[in-house]
Amino acid sequence: MLMSTQANRYAHQLLDARAKGELIPPLSANASLSLADSYDIVKSLIDIRTAQGETMIGRKIGFTNRKIWSRYGIVDPIRTPIWTPIFDATVRYTEDNRGIQSLQGALQPRIGPELVFRLGKTPAAEATIDELAECIEWMAHAFEIVVCPFPDWKFEMVDSIAAFGLHGSLIIGEPKVLSAASRRNLGNVLAHASLSLSCGDELRSAGFGSDVLGSPLHALWHLYEVLKTQPQFPPLSAGEIITTGTWTDVCPIKPGETWTSAFSGVSLSGLTVSFV
Model confidence pLDDT, tens digit, residues 27-73 = 998 888 999 999 999 999 999 999 999 999 999 999 999 888 888 88
- How much is the pLDDT for 105? 92
| pTM of the entire predicted model | 0.94
d(CA 229, CA 100): 39
Mean pLDDT of 224-228: 97
pLDDT given for residue 32 in this prediction = 87
Query: Within a 10 A sphere around the Cβ of 167, how many other Cβ atoms?
Result: 22
Per-residue pLDDT band for 1 (boundaries 50, 70, 90) equals: low
From the number of C-beta atoms within 10 Å of its C-beta (0-12, 13-18, 19+), residue 203 rates as exposed
For residue range 189-220, list pLDDT tens digits in order: 999 999 999 999 999 999 999 999 999 999 99
Neighbours of 257 (CB within 10 A): 16
* Domain 4-275 of CATH type 3.40.50.1110: no
User: If you average pLDDT over residues 109-137, what whole number do you get?
Assistant: 97
